[in-house]
Structure 1
């Protein structure tokens, strides 16, 4: 019998768009054009002009935070310059597209009369003609709607820009921060130029738990365009992954890391915002890896379009075992709020949009979309929802980064669905200015006072305690505080005991304890069985 090989638990996967770590907005062509020009090019040109400063800053974590320094080595300087040249030549269409979006916004800003927009269609930049609808809001302010379905059928959606970088963690190394640095082939990685919708990835990621032979590995990689110094067989091991999914005898809710939950009954398995850890000896006892998940995922429920909640590297690795993804209802065509449904359908997922208080029946119960306020800098973004799970008579609310901007709403919700058995909510109460995430999508500079006023804040102690009083949960979980070091590659946080997030979440723990409510500030594994 020939030996069988598993993909190592320590293999980490970085999906890339034009060598940059992929998150949903980079898959949307118009949004990608703006991020490429306003963020990626700016960072790379800064590195090319003064790479010594970037290298020095990355050696000091207190300076490097915030993603403004490229974490490349001096010997990669020419590779960065080559990527800049590629952006400005082979991919120059995206620069032109970004300029067209800026021109369209400038033209609409000048239209202050409130009169018909129909004559302006002739002035729409050629690159955008046929892909936008000019619209007015109820105050007669002009804007435009992107016809997203058509854009994905155009030359602007470039699957040839998609690739995946694979590396292997060891006990001494940590994954570098992913959002500030292009990924360039080197001796420690292998880059595979294969679009995200390819069945190749499903076959590869199945080997996390279903081993294949050496001959099958060779056949899988035959003809694939691979760069970098890592040999494909370094990705594999004959050692089976530790642990396996357990039989479920009751309704179970497991915390799987960051903001991720796994809900199971005997008849259904549901993941919420999964970000699955790569397992090494350092985190094996604390973290849940891919091998510990069920063989089949019936539903993945996503709360909002931020990269730590819609985590493409995890979703791609789960696609082969996932039946359906539920996402929040979208505005439709907003540059600031691209459709999650349409993005994920490009990746061959079966996706359903759920509106506020819309219910979908599932085995042993139902899933309901719950209004999500806050954490988006007052932008008109609909792609956000909490989730209420009613399974075998138990009620579990996953509130993600919701903030209690309107207490009366939660009182009305409590009257609607009654007391909860578990409330899980994030408390990232001091978020970055909204421009950290959305600034590239604004075609004019945002004044400093606006940036500082409108931040990506989740719940504080005050707002989280108000939600608790309104919803009356029997158990409370506080999560997504960046306490798990194996997620630093996307969190980039280094809290101290006096950090506001830690102080206020501790206040929340003390508040719940005083109320007699079992409470846990999550880090690593946790489970409640009902």
Structure 2
């Protein structure tokens, strides 16, 4: 008798969680996690418990809910949020102590103004950080430190036991709560499995999107670890095979836009995926997205541009891990609090990872991948973990610039002399980003003035900067992307543009400019596939 075969439904989504909060890279690095948990998560949850009616009202108003300052939980969940606060205080109080230790270390180093040797300060390093930091001075006698990250991941401060994955089913009437403001609590509409992110279990589950399993195999996967939530695992599966499946390219170079800042670039011999944030298909977006069932079963290289959650998206990465050969990431500064190593973070997730420096090349069967310097979009912080990618296949050159900004046009002129003109130039134009403290504020231990916040923003290219890139690289086609316009990404983007938004105005000018030059141009939203003959 033939056993019934089950597929993981296409409208099943996941929330990877660290202590019930949506996981993004800085929540995996031990010290940054302690800072965000103490200074952001606890603050938001305390605010909700103390004034939950305001939060509930605010989340009913799109204008108020933006920015991630309001917890999107219900009146009935107040007690559960209070329990999570108590758990943070009692079981994970070490995080509060680590946060205080970082503050003390910052104060210690700021007080060292003589320019003399910093070595005597090792004795004054807070006890919790002793042996985990190296103190140093720059050429102008300014003291600082680096975290010894490889050691921290092997310390008691890195806890895989607080990692879990929550499964849910997409609703076309109810949006997922914004990821940076709201904990994911066990509820009747989810099923949370407690296992580390590097567990082989996740590969077995996510393969079931395209490779069916028996009912017994599915039951074993979902009952092999502790669970919470009221959703029955059987509701996550269907007997119907996916109707949209992967189709390999022929002889051409194929470029598929897979959403937000994601591109799949292929020939018949290799596949390169950049910044994947893969949407789950539902009735509401069925014809607008390229989802997991339409991606190749083997991806030679997965390239990541920079350490922001809409580019290094753990939700998508976990579901792709079983398909990926190697991940390419930008080279890291080494131990900066604001710039944790992507190589080490992704290594904890079970990936094979290689770092590339500026202008370093990785060969492909039909060409190469080149790491291109990435300027801007990080509020002037010394963030090294950022790179754009140039993929050259069969002589076709595709530049994926993500949120990089043309702050120094001479740099691109130097690069153009080395790589020549482009076939495709793709650039993000999120030209009015949030103040840098919106993302990095939890890592600061001193007050930042309003003037500094407003001046130092997470800006990408505006029209003038992007137009200079067109003039320099003379592309045959221009793509404007990574604007967060796709509604199905609102749960992590949190943007709501109007016609008068500068992002729309500036990118619209870019479209008109390219049309005037006779260059095909498109502002990407929803799936798009190009064949470069």
Give TM-score, length-normalised by structure 1.
Answer: 0.99
- Indicate the residue corresponding to 2:39 in structure 1: 38
Report the secondary structure of 1:179's partner residue.
coil
Superposed displacement of residue 342, structure 1 = 0.4
Of 462-471 and 305-314, the range deviating more from structure 2: 462-471
The aligned residue for residue 289 of structure 2 is: 287
Kindly indicate whether residue 122 of structure 2 is the aligned counterpart of residue 128 of structure 1.
no
Per-residue CA distance 1:380-422 (angstroms, 9 max, x = gap): 0000000011101110000000111001111111111000000
User: Structure 2, unaligned stretches of length 5 or more?
Assistant: none
**Partner of residue 421, structure 1:** 423
Q: CA deviation at 1:132?
A: 0.2
Residue in 1 that maps onto 2:115: 114
Report how far residue 35 of structure 1 moved.
0.4
Q: Note the residue ranges of structure 1 that are not aligned, 5 or more in a row.
A: none
Secondary structure of the structure 2 residue equivalent to 1:326? strand
Report the counterpart of residue 463 of structure 2 in structure 1: 461
1:204 aligns with 2:205: yes
| Deviation of the 1:170 alpha carbon | 2.9
| Partner of residue 355 from structure 2, selected from 353, 356, 363 | 353
Q: Which of 366, 369, 391 is 1:367 aligned to?
A: 369
Q: Does 1:77 align with 2:78?
A: yes
Q: Is the 8 A contact 2:25 2:307 kept in 1?
A: yes
Secondary structure of the 2:465 match is: helix
Instruction: Name the counterpart of 1:86.
Output: 87
Partner SS for 1:197: coil
Q: How does 1:276-355 map to 2 (within 5 A)?
A: 276-355=278-357
Aligned to 2:191: 190
Structure 2: distance between partners of 1:500 and 1:397:
24
Counterpart secondary structure, 2:264: strand
SS in structure 1 of the partner of residue 284 of structure 2: coil
Give 1:503's match in structure 2, choosing from 505, 527, 531.
Answer: 505
Inter-partner Cα distance in structure 1 for 2:424 and 2:224: 50
2:193·2:222 contact (CA, 8 Å) conserved in 1?
no
Deviations 1:34-85 (CA, angstroms, capped at 9, x unpaired): 0011100100000111011101100111001000000000000010000001
Kindly report which structure 2 residues correspond to 1:129-148, keeping only aligned pairs within 5 A, or say none. 129-148=130-149
- TM-superposed CA distance for 1:178, in Å, is 1.1
- 2:517 matched residue in structure 1: 515
Partner-residue secondary structure (3-state), 2:401: strand
Give matches, 1:214-233, under 5 Å: 214-233=215-234
From 253, 256, 259, the equivalent of 2:255 is 253
Shift of 1:528: 1.4
Alignment of 1:487-498 (within 5 A): 487-498=489-500
Q: CA deviation at 1:362?
A: 1.4
Aligned equivalents of 1:288 and 1:34: distance in 2?
A: 36
Task: Please state if 1:432 is matched with 2:431.
Answer: no
TM-score normalised according to structure 2 size: 0.99
Name the structure 1 match of 2:105: 104
- Find the counterpart in structure 1 of residue 271 from structure 2: 269
Quick one: distance in 1 between partners of 2:75 and 2:283?
31
SS of residue in 1 equivalent to 2:134: strand
Structure 1 distance, partners of 2:36, 2:492, is 17
Q: 1:392 is matched with which residue: 391, 394, 398?
A: 394
Cα distance in 2, alignment partners of residues 170 and 241 from structure 1: 19
* CA drift at 1:247: 2.1
Structure 1 residue 242 displacement after superposition: 2.3
Contact 2:375/2:405 (<8 A) preserved: yes
Distance 1:38 1:383 in 2: 24
Are residue 406 (structure 1) and residue 408 (structure 2) matched? yes
Distance in 1 between residues matched to 2:379 and 2:248, nearest whole Å: 43
> Are 1:169 and 2:170 counterparts?
yes
Distance in 2, Cα, partners of 1:359 & 1:270: 14
TM-superposed CA distance for 1:497, in Å, is 1.1
Distance 1:429 1:223 in 2: 47
The secondary structure found in structure 2 opposite 1:400 is: coil
Instruction: Give yes or no for contact 2:263–2:275 (8 Å, CA) kept in 1.
Output: yes
How far is 1:153 from its partner?
0.3
Q: How does 1:470-489 map to 2 (within 5 A)?
A: 470-489=472-491
Distance in 2, matches of 1:171 and 1:42, equals 31
- Contact 2:192-2:228 at 8 Å conserved across structures: yes
* Greater mean alpha carbon deviation, residues 216-225 or residues 380-389: 216-225
- Output the CA distance in 1 between the equivalents of 2:199 and 2:380: 37
| Aligned counterparts of 2:448 and 2:473: Cα–Cα separation in 1 | 37
Residue deviations 1:242-290 (CA, integer Å, cap 9, x gap) = 2111121111111010000000001100100000001011111111110
Residue 172 of structure 1: CA displacement? 2.2
Q: State whether residues 302 and 327 of structure 2, in contact with CA within 8 Å, keep that contact through their aligned partners in structure 1.
A: yes
Asked if the contact 2:248–2:296 (Cα under 8 Å) also holds between the matched residues in 1, the reply is no
1:81 and 1:3 map into 2 onto residues whose CA distance is 44
- CA shift at 1:173, angstroms? 2.5
Residues 403, 460 of structure 2: 8 Å contact kept? yes
